[in-house]
Amino acid sequence: QVQLVESGGGLVQAGGSLRLSCVASGRTFSSYAIGWFRQAPGKEREFVATINREGISTYYADSVKDRFTISRDNAKNTAYLQMNSLKPEDTAVYYCATSNSLHSRWLNEYDYWGQGTQVTVSS
């Protein structure tokens, strides 16, 4: 069992930045990959980024590449999503999740999910 709690969301103007955090408890944090997903109103949940267990290898959706950075601190049981140059289309609820797969962008390969944190980008 893994419990995930996201935080750091909020309202920001276009071009601004936010850093999301995902704190995990339960199973050993370094035993699974972490992914970030987002879901905008009326849309399906979509992949944003993922990082491997050691925090060395990352993979991004094309829509956020070069703007978002995923990282993790295994000593703090925490993963992060640094979001820069935010756009109104980045508005969504952001979720972190755990996976035993490397570089997966598929929802069904993620086992445990947090409750999400709202990010709103105004134009």
- Where does residue 40 rank: exposed (0-12), middle (13-18), buried (19+ CB within 10 A)? middle
Q: Report the alpha-carbon distance of residue 70 to residue 57 in Å, rounded.
A: 10
Q: Is residue 3 within 8 Å of residue 112, measured between CB atoms?
A: yes
Give the pLDDT mean for 16-36.
95
Helix residue ranges per DSSP H, 1-123: none
Per-residue pLDDT band for 103 (boundaries 50, 70, 90) equals confident
Give the pLDDT mean for 85-114.
95
| Residue 56 clears pLDDT 90, i.e. is over it | yes
Residue 22 to residues 15, 46, 77, 123: CA-CA distances in angstroms? 23, 17, 8, 27
> What mean pLDDT, rounded, does the chain reach?
96
Q: How many CB atoms lie within 10 A of CB 88?
A: 11
Q: Report the alpha-carbon distance of residue 97 to residue 121 in Å, rounded.
A: 23
Give the pLDDT mean for 65-78.
97
